[in-house]
Structure 1
Amino acid sequence: MEIKVIIADDHAIIREGLKSLLEKKGICVLDIAQNGREAVEKAIDLKPDVMLMDISMPDLNGVEATARIKKEVPFTKIIALSMHSSKTIIDKMFAAGASGYILKESAFSELYDAIQEVLKGNFYLTPVIARMYVDSNGHAFSSSDQIPQFNKISKKEREILQLIAEGEKTRDIAQKLGVSIKTIETHRRNIMKKLSIFNVAGLTKFAIKEGIIALE
């Protein structure tokens, strides 16, 4: 049975490289997405078996995109393919519904193995990350899904926070999300109040720390 995949990453060289490698293995690449919002739209439209999801993407990050895709297309398996090795970010990705997590420094053979595993209903963690979840006696640590401060803001507020941190103007955010400028301003005030951060520079720093956006 042919495996159907969508690749979501904001770097063209990674998208095209993965597409070529996957197709050589007989895997059908249905499409590619350049940001999280596009990834959600294409997943809903094309319903892939597997979505390869970068985390730090513009417009909508991989964590939020994963949560939306799993809600709309629950059978699609999502594998995070990221440079982030922070346990906090990994926990967020699995809490959103991902089935696998691989670092971009990994060999392609590992990604291929991960695709096979998640399609069997298993979870896959790249070995260097898996070691963070196991103590010296071989017992798995229990992981908290998300840190308390991150949980203070809603999914919609996290989406708006990302756009603010990426430098989007209030008018542009309102237009992109199909709401009024007043609504965005209200969300901005609520975000600042909940996080006790009262300037854009502080919000941007928080977004970087939480993996909502990345420093290029």
Structure 2
Amino acid sequence: MNTSIVIADDHPLMLRGLTDFLTSKGFNIIGSATDGNAAYNLIVKLKPEIAILDIRMPHKTGLEIAEECQKNGLPTKVILITFDKEEELFDKAKSFNVYGYILKEFAVEEIETCIEHVVNGNPYFSEEIAEHLNCNLINSHLEELDKLTKSELKIVKLISDNKTSHDIANELSISIRTVDKHRSNIVAKLGLDNKPTSLSIWANLNKSNL
């Protein structure tokens, strides 16, 4: 479980709380920072597997750091913690390939589950955020669901259960290549963008409709 993590938050209590909590759970906290510049420098220098960032920090916001990481091809997966539920921020986070987005008031309850998902390459978003997002994100592709074949629907359902392509291939006794082909057909039919996390996020948000 020795996942390397950098944490940044400009609230010392939040920073200490999360650091102590994750350390006690056996995670390897290799650095912490109280502002965005320091956080980004730590990510560049230490290349942690995961960076847990407050969205609003001096010098650089968590979103700006995520954008820089994406632009510069850094392997670190970003988890944002925030009090914000605005759809615009959420959309930005998705476009910068952010893997996790959790609300501060649930951070300690959700962070472990979030890290577990992210380590396995699956995005994780607080349910509360999904609920607060305008329904248009959820409903905009629903009519497209009718275009999916039975097999594709089955795969979307498994993706919504956070199953990887490998899990799905095993479960349906098909090759990973076939799963990946289905995935790209589904992405095309739903009109999603090609980011690796888009389909998982969509499947998670639409779970109740699948």
Task: Tell whether the structures are fold-level matches, with TM greater than 0.5.
Answer: yes
Conserved? CA contact 2:85–2:133, under 8 Å: no
Letter in 2 for 1:31: G
Conserved? CA contact 1:44–1:73, under 8 Å: no
Is residue 2:30 matched to residue 1:9? Answer: no
> What is the aligned partner in structure 2 of residue 130 from structure 1?
130
Is residue 2:30 matched to residue 1:30? Answer: yes
How many residues align structurally? 141
> What is the aligned partner in structure 1 of residue 44 from structure 2?
44
Q: Which runs of 5+ in 2 are unaligned?
A: 142-210
Q: Secondary structure at the match of 2:105?
A: coil
Query: 1:1-57 deviations in whole A, cap 9, x for unaligned?
Result: 411100011111111111100001000100101111111110010011110011111
Conserved? CA contact 2:36–2:61, under 8 Å: yes
Letter in 1 for 2:105: E
Distance 1:112 1:133 in 2: 23
Conserved? CA contact 2:44–2:74, under 8 Å: no
Structure 1 residues 107 and 11, CA gap change in structure 2 (3 angstroms): closer
> What is the aligned partner in structure 1 of residue 111 from structure 2?
111
Deviation at residue 76 of structure 1 after TM alignment: 1.0
Letter in 1 for 2:82: S
Q: Quote the RMSD (CA, aligned, Å).
A: 2.1
Q: Which runs of 5+ in 1 are unaligned?
A: 143-216
> What is the aligned partner in structure 1 of residue 72 from structure 2?
72
Conserved? CA contact 1:2–1:27, under 8 Å: yes
Q: Which runs of 4+ in 1 moved over 6 A?
A: none
> What is the aligned partner in structure 2 of residue 21 from structure 1?
21
Conserved? CA contact 1:47–1:73, under 8 Å: no
Q: Secondary structure at the match of 2:31?
A: strand
Deviation at residue 133 of structure 1 after TM alignment: 4.8
More helix by share: 2
